[in-house]
């Protein structure tokens, strides 16, 4: 069984006509089979899946977390259950300066 390098979800086969590709059941990241290995399928920027993380930033707490984009040391933070219930929640951060958003899996 293979696991997604992005979110840790299970990669399952997906039939497309006569072709079979592989896709993460959780985040939708696509993989292709090369020999006996799965490799990340080339992604077009327009095809990337974006997670809609709603809510108003002014209602979120701020913590000391460095933004990898601009180097600012303050970020809003929140958690969401993005995987199965027996997995820990995912922590999200959004930079208070440039609004870059990233996530951390525990």
Distances, alpha carbon 93 to alpha carbons 27, 41, 46, 54, in Å: 18, 27, 23, 12
> Choosing from 6, 30, 80, 87, which is the catalytic residue?
87
Residue 87 annotated among the catalytic residues of the structure: yes
- Please check whether residue 6 is in contact with residue 14, taking contact to mean a CB–CB distance below 8 angstroms: no
Domains and CATH numbers, the chain: 11-44 (no CATH), 57-105 (2.20.25.10)
Which residue in the list 36, 45, 86, 106 is annotated as catalytic?
Answer: 86
pLDDT of residue 45 exceeding 70: no
Which whole number is the average pLDDT over 85-100?
90
Q: What is the CA radius of gyration of the chain?
A: 17
Ranges 21-25, 81-85, 90-94, most confident: 90-94
Q: State yes or no: pLDDT of 72 exceeds 90.
A: yes
Q: Give the pLDDT band (50/70/90) at residue 6.
A: confident
> Is the pLDDT at 53 greater than 90, yes or no?
no
Q: Does residue 51 register a pLDDT over 70?
A: no
- 86 is a catalytic site residue: yes
pTM of the model: 0.48
Contact 7, 83 (CB under 8 A): yes
């Amino acid at each position: 069984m293979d696991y997604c390098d992005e979110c840790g979800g299970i990669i399952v086969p997906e039939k497309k006509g006569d072709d079979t590709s592989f896709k993460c059941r959780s985040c939708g990241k696509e993989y292709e089979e090369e020999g006996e290995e799965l490799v990340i399928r080339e992604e077009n920027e327009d095809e990337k899946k974006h997670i809609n993380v709603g809510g108003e930033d002014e209602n979120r707490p701020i913590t000391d977390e460095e933004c990898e984009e601009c180097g600012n040391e303050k970020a809003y933070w929140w958690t969401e259950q993005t995987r199965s219930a027996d997995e820990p929640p995912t922590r999200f951060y959004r930079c208070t300066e440039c609004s870059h958003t990233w996530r951390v899996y525990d």
